[in-house]
Amino acid sequence: MGIFDKTEKLEKQIASFSMNGKEIVCPFCSNHKFEYREILLNTPGMTFLGFDWANRSASVLICTTCSRIEWFFNRPSFH
């Protein structure tokens, strides 16, 4: 079994979210449900040195209707 034969099971978190007390709504389709993910913000210097793990991460919300991606530096709150 090679390295590319392994499949990772990702648990999807689908919910409504808010930021600073305001509900997040998709600006494209007006949907209120998003899939939540944490994405690593890689930088060339840290990648070159092999320290990708030390980079910060961002919160990403993916619209469940149109799949538009919204990025947040701070983590949105679950509804």
Question: For residue 73, what pLDDT band results from cuts at 50, 70 and 90?
Answer: very high
Tokens of 45: 């210097």
CA angle 10, 22, 19 (to 5 degrees): 45
- Residue 9, classed as helix, strand or coil, is coil
- The domain tally of the chain equals 1
**CA-to-CA distance for 74 and 7, rounded, in angstroms?**
29
Per-residue model confidence (pLDDT) at position 55: 65
Phi, psi of 34 (to 5 degrees): -135, 155
How confident is the model over 14-56, as pLDDT tens digits? Answer: 999 999 999 999 999 999 999 999 987 767 766 667 776 666 7
CATH number, position 55? 2.20.25
Residue range of the domain that includes 18: 13-78
**CA-to-CA distance for 8 and 13, rounded, in angstroms?**
16
Q: Is residue 25 part of a domain?
A: yes
Q: Is residue 4 part of a domain?
A: no
